Amino acid sequence: MLNEKGVSEVIGAILLVSLVILGAMIVAVLFLSQPPPQEIPQVNAIAGNNTTHIFLLHDGGDPLMSLETLIRIDGRADPVPAGDIELLREDGTVEESSWLSGEWSVGKTLRIRDDQTPQSVTLVYSGGSSQSLLLTSTFVEGSPIGPTGTVTTSPTGTATTTTTTVTTTVTTSVTTTTTTSPTPTPIPDCGTISGYKWNDLDGDGVWDTGEPGLSGWTVKAYECQTGNCNNLEEKGLVTTNPDGYYTFTGLTYQPSTKFKIEEVQQTGWKPTSPSQGYLIVQLEPPGSPGQPEKCFETNVNFGNIELPQADFEADPTSGVAPLTVQFTDLSTGNPTQWAWDVNNDGVTDYTSQNPEHTYASSGTYTVKLTVTNAGGSATKIKSGYITVTATSNADVIIDENVFIYGNNLEFGGSTINGPGATIIINGGLDTSDINGGASIAVTTIYFDGSVNLDGGSAGLGSSSNPGSIYVNGNMNLWGGSRNIYGDVYVAGNFDLKDARIHDTVYVDGDLTLGNTPTLDSNARIYYTGEIYYPQGYPQNILSKCIHQVSVPGFDMPDEGLPPLRPNDWYTARGYVSGGSLASNLKIFADSYSPTSSTSTAVNVVIIARNGDITLTNLGWIHVSGVLFAPNGRVTFSGDSFEGVVLTRDGFFVTSGGTDVTFRNFEEFFSSPDDYPF
Distance CA 145, CA 159 (A): 9
Among the three residues 258, 284, 306, which one is the final residue of a domain in this structure? 306
pLDDT of residue 157: 34
pLDDT of residue 389: 79
Question: In this prediction, what percent of the chain has a pLDDT beyond 70?
Answer: 82
Q: pLDDT category, 128, cuts 50, 70, 90?
A: low
**Residue 357 pLDDT greater than 50, yes or no:** yes
Closest CA to 567 of 480, 439, 677: 677
**Residue 425 pLDDT greater than 70, yes or no:** yes
Query: Is 518 in the same domain as 435?
Result: yes
3-state secondary structure at position 23 = helix
Kindly report the length of the chain.
Answer: 677
User: pLDDT digit string (tens) for 426-436?
Assistant: 999 998 898 87
pLDDT of residue 299: 86
**Mean model confidence pLDDT for the chain:** 82
For residues 190, 191, 192, 193, the Cα torsion angle rounded to the nearest 10 degrees is: 130
| Mean pLDDT of the 344-365 span | 92
Q: Assess if residue 409 is contained within a domain.
A: no
Query: Is 444 in the same domain as 484?
Result: yes
Query: Is 592 in the same domain as 499?
Result: no
pLDDT of residue 559: 66
Query: Is 488 in the same domain as 510?
Result: yes
Q: Assess if residue 399 is contained within a domain.
A: no
Distance CA 22, CA 2 (A): 29
Q: pLDDT category, 664, cuts 50, 70, 90?
A: confident
Closest CA to 518 of 535, 542, 536, 501: 501
**Residue 643 pLDDT greater than 50, yes or no:** yes
Strands of the sheet containing 650-653, edge to edge, are 409-411, 650-653, 633-636, 613-615
Angle at 36 between CA 32 and CA 42, to 5 degrees: 160
Higher per-residue pLDDT: 151 or 447: 447
**Residues 218 and 238: beta-carbon distance below 8 Å:** yes
pLDDT of residue 181: 40
pLDDT of residue 46: 82
| Mean pLDDT of the 248-260 span | 88
User: pLDDT digit string (tens) for 178-197?
Assistant: 333 443 334 578 899 999 99
Domain that holds residue 382: 312-389
Among the three residues 306, 333, 358, which one is the final residue of a domain in this structure? 306
Among the three residues 103, 133, 168, which one is the final residue of a domain in this structure? 168
CATH number for 235: 2.60.40.10
**Residue 527 pLDDT greater than 50, yes or no:** yes
Higher per-residue pLDDT: 554 or 404: 554
**Residue 15 pLDDT greater than 60, yes or no:** no
Global pTM exceeds 0.75: no
- Which value, in Å, is the radius of gyration of the alpha carbons in the chain? 45
Q: How many CB atoms lie within 10 A of CB 421?
A: 25
pLDDT of residue 106: 87
pLDDT of residue 282: 87
| Mean pLDDT of the 651-667 span | 89
313-317, 435-439, 643-647: which has the minimum mean pLDDT? 435-439
Q: How many CB atoms lie within 10 A of CB 244?
A: 24
First-to-last C-alpha distance (Å) of the chain: 171
Residue 192 half-sphere exposure toward CB, CA atoms < 13 A: 14
Q: Assess if residue 150 is contained within a domain.
A: yes
pLDDT of residue 187: 54
pLDDT of residue 264: 93
172-181, 246-255, 358-367: which has the minimum mean pLDDT? 172-181
142-146, 338-342, 489-493: which has the minimum mean pLDDT? 142-146
Distance CA 638, CA 358 (A): 39
Chain mean position to CA 272? 22
Query: Is 252 in the same domain as 227?
Result: yes
pLDDT of residue 587: 95
User: pLDDT digit string (tens) for 624-638?
Assistant: 999 999 999 999 998
Query: Is 317 in the same domain as 295?
Result: no
| Mean pLDDT of the 37-64 span | 80
Q: pLDDT category, 391, cuts 50, 70, 90?
A: low
Beta-bridge partner residues of 232: 224
Overall domain count for the chain = 5
Query: Is 158 in the same domain as 55?
Result: yes
Stretch (H or E) spanning 263: strand 257-263
87-101, 197-211, 477-491: which has the minimum mean pLDDT? 87-101
pLDDT of residue 10: 38
Which DSSP symbol is given to 309? B
Q: Assess if residue 403 is contained within a domain.
A: no
User: pLDDT digit string (tens) for 53-79?
Assistant: 888 888 888 888 877 788 888 777 678
Q: pLDDT category, 287, cuts 50, 70, 90?
A: low
pLDDT of residue 597: 76
pLDDT of residue 139: 59
Q: Assess if residue 219 is contained within a domain.
A: yes
Query: Is 295 in the same domain as 337?
Result: no
Which DSSP symbol is given to 165? E
Query: Is 47 in the same domain as 159?
Result: yes
Q: pLDDT category, 167, cuts 50, 70, 90?
A: very low
| DSSP characters over 586-633 | EEEES-B--S-B-SEEEEEEEEESSS-EEE-S-TT-EEEEEEEETTSE
Inter-CA distances, 302 with 188, 198, 269, 274, Å: 19, 7, 12, 6
Distance CA 284, CA 261 (A): 16
pLDDT of residue 582: 92
pLDDT of residue 59: 81
Distance CA 444, CA 606 (A): 25
Q: Taking the alpha carbons of 666, 669, 674, 675 in that order, is the dihedral positive or negative?
A: negative
Query: Is 434 in the same domain as 503?
Result: yes
Beta-bridge partner residues of 640: 622, 659
Q: Assess if residue 246 is contained within a domain.
A: yes
Query: Is 586 in the same domain as 638?
Result: yes
Q: Assess if residue 182 is contained within a domain.
A: no
- Tell me phi and psi for residue 41, to 5 degrees: -65, 150
Distance CA 147, CA 421 (A): 63
**Residue 373 pLDDT greater than 60, yes or no:** yes
Most confident of 72-81, 126-135, 365-374, 435-444: 365-374
Q: Which amino acid is at 103?
A: E
Higher per-residue pLDDT: 224 or 4: 224
Distance CA 123, CA 79 (A): 9
Query: Is 540 in the same domain as 511?
Result: yes
| Mean pLDDT of the 285-308 span | 77
Q: pLDDT category, 134, cuts 50, 70, 90?
A: low
| Mean pLDDT of the 130-151 span | 50
| Mean pLDDT of the 502-510 span | 98
Q: Assess if residue 576 is contained within a domain.
A: yes
> Residue 558: left (phi > 0), alpha (psi -120 to 50), or beta?
alpha
**Residues 278 and 261: beta-carbon distance below 8 Å:** yes
Stretch (H or E) spanning 14: helix 4-33
